[in-house]
A = this chain, B = another copy of it.
Amino acid sequence: MQLTILGYNSAIPTMHSNPTAQYLNIRESGILIDCGEGTQVQLRKAKIKFNSINQIFISHLHGDHVFGLPGFLSTLALLGRTTSLTIYGPKGIKEFIENQLKVTQSRREYELIFIELHSTQSELIFENKKFEVYTIPLNHRTYTNGYLFKEKPLQRNLNIEAIKHYSEIQTCDYQNIKDGKDFILSDGFIVKNESLTFDPPKPKSYAFCSDTMYNESILPIIKEVDLLYHEATFLEELKKLAFKTGHSTALEAGSIASQANVKKLIIGHFSNRYLDYNVLLEEAKQQFKNTELPITLQTIDI
């Protein structure tokens, strides 16, 4: 699983960083998470093929998270896309997008499928053989979800050298062995699966927690994820402002990461009052050591 940060700043744009957007490559599936203005150019700069994206997950309908979507969808049409594209987001996103594409007369040959969310409970919203996506209900000024992306366990890897010792094991038995089953020889001897296979890579998980105030109810959902992105708009000294505007402080982001026992934390969505983000990093680190600042267009191996 690889995450590319396309932008991480808050609503007021700067010359140096873009509003929220991330690209997740999960088992060769391309996923766009939020889509602030200018995301399509960021995708170009990151050399990500537009057509690799088949799912878009939008956290909430504030401009700095969605104003890049109409442009991106129009460009896909101009590039001749025919494969369908699914957009997950708050109730209302379908009308919002369709209105803009209609007024600007964007004609497309691909199907846009909208999955509108309204539950305030975490729910499984996508699943295939490779991964699952759950919502993470957040607490912001408007209906907002984070998303948890979880790889599914892979098949076990065959230990061919070990298998060769048993002439009875045929190629047609391999799938059962990959699925973790023991092999029973004709004399009744049980060959334990562990002696015939290697452990597959551990499934990875990524939790994206967009705009939210401090919210302990997300802890069970994001528990022990390999990577947590959590907003940290303010320093703790502006805790009241954070609460009022539905945002978190860096200390709170670190606290959430610590309590959830995640492996790594990346903070973002910084207020434009901070010129040096290291003050936010240092504050988050007080609660959770393995915290990092995002780097635009950097790809992180999860």
Contacts and interface: CB of A to CB of B under 8 A. Distances in A.
Contact of A63 (B37, B63, B74): B74
Q: How many copies does the complex hold?
A: 2
A180 to B, nearest CB: 47
Contact of A37 (B38, B62, B96): B38
A12 B78 contact: yes
5 contacts: A13-B75, A61-B103, A61-B104, A63-B106, A67-B104
Which bucket holds chain A's interface residue count? 35 or more
Interface in A56-101: 61-64, 66-68, 70-71, 74-75, 78-79, 92, 95-96, 99-100
A15 interface: yes
Nearest to A96: B103
A78 B11 contact: yes
Given A37-B37, A37-B40, A38-B38, 17 more contacts: A11-B75, A12-B78, A12-B79, A13-B40, A13-B41, A13-B71, A13-B75, A37-B67, A37-B71, A62-B104, A62-B105, A63-B70, A63-B71, A63-B106, A67-B67, A67-B104, A105-B141
Contact of A15 (B44, B62, B103): B44
In the A-B complex, the 10 residue pairs with the smallest Cβ-Cβ separation, listed nearest first, are A37-B71, A63-B104, A67-B71, A63-B74, A38-B38, A96-B103, A15-B44, A13-B40, A13-B41, A12-B78
Contacts of A37: 37-38, 40, 67-68, 71
A281 to B, nearest CB: 25
Given A37-B37, A71-B67, A142-B105, A44 B13 contact: yes
Interface centre among A37, A38, A75, A106 (most CB of B within 10 A): A37
A202 interface: no
Given A40-B13, A105-B141, A70 B67 contact: yes
Contacts of A40: 13, 37
Contacts of A78: 11-12
Contacts of A11: 74-75, 78
Interface centre among A67, A95, A141 (most CB of B within 10 A): A67
